Amino acid sequence: MIILLGGSGYVGNAFQNYFEQSDIEFLSVARAQCDYTDKDALNQLLKETNPDFLINTAGYTGKPNVDACELHKAECLDGNAVLPGTIREVCESHKITWGQVSTGCIYTGRREDGEGFTEDDTPNFSFRTDNCSFYSGTKALGEEVLDGAENCYIWRLRIPFNHVDSPRNYLSKLINYDTLLEAENSISHIDEFVRCCTETYSKQVPFGIYNVTNTGYVTTREVADLIKTHLLPEKEAKFFTDEDEFMKIAAKTPRSNCVMDNSKLLSTGIEIREVHEAIIQSLRDWTR
């Protein structure tokens, strides 16, 4: 049986849907039922349920976007850096295998050699490099807290999307925003992300960090063109002149735009689609 923390959120709900469709036994725990940020409460929960695996999707992302994290720094720090440490301590005391949903937003750009960032690369969009949003800084700290963790998977999600219209869906954002920022990014089909994360556990691949992104990368213009071709032929995308204009008009804190390497995930035998293929299929199956 799997314990799921943060099941009411966008990512947590995707895990719930996958478990239900796959007949996987799980228990979604809300903070109203058990304040899992409290070590004693979480310890009691694990004593009572004795799960085989625990997944933490809880964290603080800010609504409607990461700009909100700049106004709620205590909550952001607690949710993204302190909570993973609490879960680590309790899971290790019970010898329970577990997984933490992290993010690729702790990087910016590409590696110096022009390739995508691997799991071994030190985050370059963090408090230690003094160039990040508060959100990205706390997520990088969260990974530091888990350095050397026993029986733990860290799954890096990157700009989620799928075929279902949602404020959290990257495709929905590009459809609804008046003006877009041109950038290149690796991104994650949320349903494939969930399946891949679950398979790291079910297939017992080595513990550690995994970049769970669709293979390759896309530019904003490419995605806008795909939206026009496969969903909204009348849609004409407008773009900011550059990032400076974007920051002056539409954002309060820097954004992460980066390319990631998912070779480590693929080397385990877990499959995930090429990013353009996944986007096109999502647009063809679009549901409002």
Domain harbouring 50, CATH code: 3.40.50.720
pLDDT value, residue 212: 98
Q: What share of the chain is helix, strand, coil (3-state, %, to 5)?
A: 40, 15, 45
- Say how far apart CA 98 and CA 156 lie, in whole Å: 14
> What per-residue confidence (pLDDT) applies to 36?
94
Residue 102: per-residue pLDDT: 98
Q: Which domain, by its residues, includes 48? A: 2-162+189-214+261-273
Buried b (16+ CB within 10 A) or exposed e, 98-115: bbbbbbbbbbbebbeeee
Cα–Cα distance between 54 and 56 in angstroms, integer? 7
Instruction: Quote the pLDDT of residue 62.
Output: 86
pLDDT at position 172:
97
> What's the pLDDT score for residue 167?
94
Q: Is residue 69 part of a domain?
A: yes
Closest CA to 1 of 50, 34, 47: 50
| 72 in a structural domain | yes
Report whether 262 contacts 139 (CB < 8 A): no
Q: Would you state the pLDDT for residue 33?
A: 87
C-alpha closest to that of 58 among 6, 2, 3, 4: 6
Residues 6+ apart with CB under 8 A from 193: 11, 14, 155, 157, 160, 212
- Decide if 199 is inside a domain: yes
Residue 47 lies in a domain: yes
DSSP string, 33-94: T--TTSHHHHHHHHHHH--SEEEE------SSSGGGGGT-HHHHHIIIIIHHHHHHHHHHHH
Question: What confidence score (pLDDT) does residue 160 get?
Answer: 98
pLDDT digits (tens, 9 = 90+) for 203-248: 999 999 999 999 999 999 999 999 999 999 999 999 999 999 999 9
Give the pLDDT of residue 252. 87
- Counting as low any pLDDT under 50, the low residues of the chain are none
60 in any annotated domain: yes
Number of domains the chain contains:
1
